[in-house]
Structure 1
Amino acid sequence: MYKILANTIFFGKDVHFLSECHSTNDIALNLVRQFQVGEGSIVICDNQTKGKGQRGNFWQSEAGQNLTFSLVLRPDFLDISEQFYLNMTVSNSLRRLLQDYVPQLEVKWPNDLIVPGYGKMGGILIENTFSGKEWEFAVVGIGLNINQLSFDSETAVSLKSITGSQFELEELFRLLITQLEQGYIQLKKGKLQEIKSEYLMNLHRRDSWSKYSANEEQFSGKIVGISAGGKLEIELKDGEIEVFDLKEISFL
């Protein structure tokens, strides 16, 4: 049972624990729409059966072995055009803590946590609600592979499979939420350049030539940055910079 956190300012003061659910993001979004939760509320599930990932994929998780939760935020201090800064903030916060155990951990654009040579350890899916041009709430869904050792996907990896250590989920959850709150406070203070610089510093494939696919064609490119709207900036062999959205490019 996950308890209300005592070591944070406003994150985790309202924790909804479910032994099983289909998606913590769906549960959190419903609570938001019913005005039953506020900023900092968390929905966490021991056995998430249909967790959502990027591109409409599902996030597979074995019961009782991982951390799958959603955090409700109200980042209305940001302009809608700046919403990718929230993605970067969350990615940075998770990486900061987990790199203590896996120093080689990187962020794969837009917001996956991967260990080069091993695979994907975690993912983030942020779903927003708006009222006209005003940002109301953001539901930050997080899935982290912690103690699971067997996966259907060959590209998945866990903290335990890399380190060989068993982790106490509730303690790790407490540390993660503390780190997430610190990152969010940094965002509220307007430290946008610092957030982006940290994200780029730990971005997978940055400044290295790699293979990609777009418009049913393969090409070589080098990630050089992220646009103001969160799109991926890739330098081509001829020196031209092209910009790609999430559904427009695949990593090979």
Structure 2
Amino acid sequence: MNIIKLDAIDSTNTFLKKLSVESTLEDYTIVIARNQTSGRGQMGTVWSSEAGKNLTFSIYTRVSHVKKDEQFYISIVISLAILKALKSMGIPDLKVKWPNDILSANYKICGILIENIIKGNQLYASVIGIGLNVNQSSFEGLPNASSMKLITGNYYNHEEIVHQIVYYLKKYETVINKRDFKALLNEYESQLFRKDKPSTFKGKDENIFMGFIKGVSTSGKLRVLLEDEIEKEFDLKEVSLLH
């Protein structure tokens, strides 16, 4: 594991992707930024973080054993690895809000952005960007956000968290190598926020509807049970789960 520490950068994902083009990177090369000025989230959203208080970092890992149509399992294993790492540090009531936001006590504490590198029409590596709220104590204008410190009252060491996440990510990598995708999917679904509970959704045409989250498809689409016992699958561009 090679760790590169930066004082400030626009995006650790952008930096690491560029680095992977310019040189051959060691598996689990990690870039950590004290201040990330243009952090990105899913669907082009901005990840805002107080400099020095939180973890903004990216992990480069080779995933050539994963096929292109199996890439959602990369999202699954990083979500589960973060969940396990945070649980080991005493963070309570952890859930995954589809597809890969990490919640504690219904508050978002972590966002994930995965960008895959394809060579010769095959998956070659993934750059996994992680924004984790660690020691920040105020989230003005973000009522659904929180941090590890706010939730437990404890101060956390950044490097210890990174090592724990990588430890569990490597453990889950062995499950992917064995191609035990069913076990991964079952574990992921058991950790889904609001699974089997009546939930409110907003569609891409801004319509609001009710449904029950039943799980996810192998391609990562959210399976929702609608009225009249009709189950429908939605991708990230089609639906958002409202708090």
Q: Do they fold alike, i.e. is TM over 0.5?
A: yes
Partner of 2:55: 67
Secondary structure at 2:78 match in 1: helix
Partner of 2:45: 57
How far apart, CA to CA, are the structure 2 residues paired with 1:181 and 1:69?
17
How far apart, CA to CA, are the structure 1 residues paired with 2:64 and 2:24?
18
Partner of 2:181: 192
TM-score (norm 2): 0.94
- Letter paired with 1:244: F
- Answer whether contact 2:85 2:161 (CA < 8 A) is retained: no
Secondary structure at 1:19 match in 2: strand
Partner of 1:98: 86
TM-score (norm 1): 0.91
- Answer whether contact 2:212 2:224 (CA < 8 A) is retained: yes
How far apart, CA to CA, are the structure 2 residues paired with 1:78 and 1:169?
30
- Percent identity over the alignment? 38
Partner of 2:35: 47
148, 155, 167: which is aligned to 2:156? 167
Q: Deviations over 1:175-219 (max 9, x none)?
A: 222122212222222221111111000100111111111132111
How far apart, CA to CA, are the structure 1 residues paired with 2:99 and 2:219?
11
176, 193, 205: which is aligned to 2:165? 176
Partner of 1:243: 233
Quote how far apart the aligned CAs of 1:35 are.
2.5
- Letter paired with 1:15: I
Q: Tell me the number of residue pairs that the alignment of Structure 1 and Structure 2 aligns.
A: 239
Whether 1:15 and 2:3 are equivalent positions in the alignment is yes
CA RMSD of aligned residues (A): 1.3
- Answer whether contact 2:223 2:234 (CA < 8 A) is retained: yes
- Answer whether contact 1:130 1:137 (CA < 8 A) is retained: yes
- Answer whether contact 1:32 1:38 (CA < 8 A) is retained: no
Quote how far apart the aligned CAs of 1:103 are.
2.7
Query: Which ranges of structure 2 fall in alignment gaps of 5 or more residues?
Result: none
Matches for 1:88-167 after TM superposition, within 5 Å: 88-100=76-88, 101-117=90-106, 119-152=107-140, 153-167=142-156
